[in-house]
Amino acid sequence: MVIKARPDSEKTLGQILIAKGVISQKQLDLALKIKDVQPEKYLGEILFRIGVPQEKINWALYYYNKRKTIGEVLCDQELISSKQLEEGLSKQKHIKEKFGTTKPLGLLLIEMGHINIRSYLTALSKHFNMPVLTLIDFEPSSHLQRIIGSRYAWERRIIVLENSPETIKFVLAEPSMQIIEELQKAVPFGKRIEFYLANHTIIDECFLKMAEPMSA
């Protein structure tokens, strides 16, 4: 998908969020002060941590084409070199041309031995402003999974963490804007949505736990 530049796409993320009434100048000033002390953190990441709604930050990043690519994030964090990024992108392009499918760059880089799953989750967390969860002692619920459709949840590797009258929480293994938009459409209007990340293996273990009663 090609994202066309918006009229105010030259503004910074902070300026856009102020113009849209999402944050105040005071909040932006605080976030910028934190960034001065912790320059490795992205502004969106900081704004989320001081309480700005995740979905509004992600909306601005996406709509105004302000989000860095996962490759850029990995390079920023010095998790890969520019040469390794080029190798990954070249392999991704080859797979697309040969098989007609697109494999996530991060997974390719893991297969190529350039990064591990922890590094990938760190980059995804910064890319999407989603905290990483370990899901230790979490007991998945088949009932909660049916909220978005058990088959859909299994195919997209999505765990429904919590569902209250005000908020629903999802844990994703491989987030994308398509999945985020699909989930937003499935949730009643006005309900707060929170997204989190977890290791593919942990999420698969959750699905196995839910399948055990049925196979017993």
Report the alpha-carbon distance of residue 212 to residue 17 in Å, rounded.
Answer: 46
The CA distance from 61 to 17, in Å, is: 10
Neighbours of 113 (CB within 10 A): 8
| Separation between Cα atoms, residue 42 and residue 185, nearest integer Å | 28
- How far is C-alpha 176 from the chain's CA centre? 7
Q: Domain 142-215's class?
A: alpha beta
Backbone angles phi, psi at 169, to 5 degrees: -120, 130
Residue 2 confidence (pLDDT) = 40
CA dist list (Å): 8 to 15, 20, 58, 164: 9, 11, 16, 36
Q: Among 140, 96, 188, which Cα is nearest to 108's?
A: 96
The span from the CA of 207 to the CA of 200, in Å, is 11
Q: Per DSSP, what are the bridge partners of residue 172?
A: 158, 197
Here the contacts of 154-158 (C-beta below 8 Å, separation 24 or greater) are 154/207, 157/200, 157/203, 157/204, 158/183
The gap from C-alpha 124 to its chain's centroid, in whole angstroms, comes to 6
* pLDDT, tens digit only, all 216 positions of the chain: 344 445 555 689 999 999 999 999 999 999 999 999 999 899 999 999 999 999 899 889 988 999 999 999 999 999 999 999 999 999 999 999 999 988 889 999 999 999 999 999 999 999 999 999 999 889 999 999 999 999 999 999 999 999 999 999 999 999 988 999 999 999 998 899 999 999 999 999 999 998 865 444
Instruction: Give the residue extent of every domain in the chain.
Output: 13-63, 70-124, 142-215
Cβ contacts of residue 107 below 8 Å, gap of 6+?
120, 174
- Total residue length of the chain: 216
| Beta strand extents in 68-185 (DSSP E only) | 158-163, 167-172
Task: Quote the pLDDT of residue 213.
Answer: 52
